[in-house]
Structure 1
Amino acid sequence: MARASAYDGIADWYEQEFLGGPTARATDGNPLALGGVLGELLGEGEGAACLEIGCGTGIHATRLRELGWEPVGVDLSGGMLRHARGRLPVARADAARLPVADGSLPAVVAVMVHTDMPGYPAVLREAARVLRPGGVFVHIGVHPCFCGGFADRSDAEAVVIRPGYRDAGWTRESWSDQGLRDKVGAGHLPLPGLLHGFLDAGLTLERIAEHGTPTPIVLALRARKAG
């Protein structure tokens, strides 16, 4: 994951300026707005627990509760968790070493965080480990084909893709100095590397969605652990 200290150093900026303050919600106009993708892929929870990996400041907890889930979160950054504690129960932990028993959860989500985790395939294996048979994992992340240091999104109507998409690895390159990536860096996996991570973890892909126009910003996937 991106160094915890990187997010610790910007946690207040992230909460107040990037998200819009403690009353902000992940709805239209918010940088983490996802349309209906989370509900479409996760479905209703009927009071069951849902673990959010890399929960950050907990901005998605309200939506998870609206869907009927009881969210709990883990994150490596103490600074981010300082803001999250008012939104959901949390624990400080590495996403690749979750403090959760094998086969104990019906649902796990990772929302807009996989680029913070250079070892994301290991995180997918952990998600599979803690899911009960038949449990669901929802990944929502920046679209690997259209977002990254190789993508110039300064003109939303004409995104320019330059060489670099095929190069997996960590970078601080960004088309903007007003967002996150120039501050904390980002990991990139080309689409095959991301999808193989699911397959290698033993997760079966069920649904796929894109979000954002005219060029998608978000790629979302629902996968299930074999029952």
Structure 2
Amino acid sequence: MVATAAYDEIADWYEEQFLHGQQRDPLGINRALRDLLGDSEGSGVCLEIGCGTGVHAAVIRELGWTPAGIDLSSGMLRHARGRLPVARADAGRLPVRDGSVPAVVTVMVHTDMPEYPAVLREAARVLRPGGVLVHIGVHPCFCGGFADRSDPAAVVIRPGYLDGHWTTESWTDQGLRDKVGATHRPLPELMHALLDAGLTLERFAEGGTPTPVVLAAKARKRG
């Protein structure tokens, strides 16, 4: 997979430079985690699929869960190991027993996973009945190769939103898409993928200003 090799190559840049600009949570990622995972009365293992360098583990732990992560990139996991227990694994074939974890999160990874609907089905497989999944990802309506965000006060939406495609085209060379590419899914397709996995949607959140950059959803496995 192109994205896997690319993340191995940029793991140090991601950890040491890219994340530095995210420390104050400008996109509302940590806020969405707290709002959607934090309102779930539960404890135990929270599996992060595509954990990257493990930067979300502290918030997950703060909310009373025990974080554990999987990722396909050995370069990213090299940084994650000091933050949470991890395993190198394919998100489409999780090395986890059926119905064994109470919570799963996917944070800013669905555009890295061309087979994200299959990943959601795997997440539903390993969740206990009644277990919670929190999806946090770039906003399908305002982010993608069709969106020019060079003027943060006036995002320009060009043709392409409905196409659904993988691209490295980006309005900036300071982000990830120009380095690893991204798969775009229109909003209905993303929501249907959650429903088709056997999950019931419960709550939503957006983050980033003045136009949302992040869309988050909380869903629960039907009992």
TM-score by length of 2: 0.95
2:13 maps to 13
The answer to whether 1:100 aligns with 2:101 is no
Match of 2:29 among 19, 31, 34: 34
Distance of 1:223 and 1:213 partners within structure 2:
25
Give the one of 187, 190, 193 matched to 1:194. Answer: 190
Cα distance in 2, alignment partners of residues 186 and 119 from structure 1: 12
Q: Which residue of 2 aligns with 1:4?
A: 4
2:77 matched to which residue of 1? Answer: 81
Pair 1:176 & 2:178 matched:
no
User: Secondary structure of the residue that 1:204 maps to in structure 2?
Assistant: strand
Q: Report if aligned partners of 1:2, 1:116 keep a CA contact under 8 Å in 2.
A: no
Q: How far does residue 167 in structure 1 lie from its aligned partner after superposition?
A: 1.0
The amino acid across from 2:192 in the alignment is H
* Structure 1 unaligned residues grouped into runs of 5+: none
Q: Please give the secondary structure, in 1, of the residue aligned with 2:172.
A: coil
Instruction: Decide whether the 8 Å contact of 1:45 with 1:67 is kept in 2.
Output: no
- How far 1:4 moved relative to its partner? 1.5
Contact 1:50 1:108 in 2 (8 A): yes
Q: For 1:2 and 1:134, how far apart are their aligned partners in 2?
A: 35
Q: Aligned equivalents of 2:25 and 2:61: distance in 1? A: 20
Moved over 4 A (4+): 44-47
Per-residue CA deviation, residues 151-184 of structure 1 (Å, 9 max, x unaligned), is: 0000100000000001112111111111111000
Secondary structure at 1:106 match in 2 = strand
The 5 Å alignment of 1:133-148 reads: 133-148=129-144
User: 1: CA distance between counterparts of 2:70 and 2:88?
Assistant: 6
Q: Distance in 2 between matches of 1:90 and 1:45?
A: 24
CA contact (8 A) 2:28 2:214 kept: no
Q: Determine if contact 1:45/1:69 at 8 Å carries over to the other structure.
A: no
Post-superposition shift, 1:29?
A: 5.2
Q: How many residue pairs end up in the alignment?
A: 222
Query: What is residue 215 of structure 2 aligned with on the other side?
Result: 219
Q: Percent identity?
A: 73
SS in 2 for 1:83: helix
Please list every run of 5 or more consecutive structure 2 residues that lacks an aligned counterpart in the other structure.
Answer: none
Paired position in structure 2 for 1:126: 122
Asked if the contact 1:49–1:71 (Cα under 8 Å) also holds between the matched residues in 2, the reply is: yes
- Give, in angstroms, the shift of residue 45 of structure 1: 6.2
Higher helix share: 2
**2:161 paired residue among 154, 161, 165:** 165
Separation of aligned partners in 1, 2:218 and 2:42:
18
- RMSD across aligned positions (CA): 1.6
CA change 1:2–1:101 in 2 (3 A) is farther
Contact 1:2 1:186 in 2 (8 A): no
Contact persistence 1:28–1:35 (CA under 8 A): no
Give SS of 2:64's match.
Answer: coil
Distance change >3 Å, CA 204–CA 29, structure 1 → 2: closer
Equivalent residue of 1:149, what SS?
coil
Q: Are the structure 2 counterparts of residues 110 and 2 from structure 1 closer, same or farther at C-alpha, using a change threshold of 3 Å? A: farther
- Write the letter of the residue equivalent to 1:40: D
Q: Provide the C-alpha distance between the structure 1 equivalents of 2:80 and 2:30, rounded to a whole number of angstroms.
A: 22
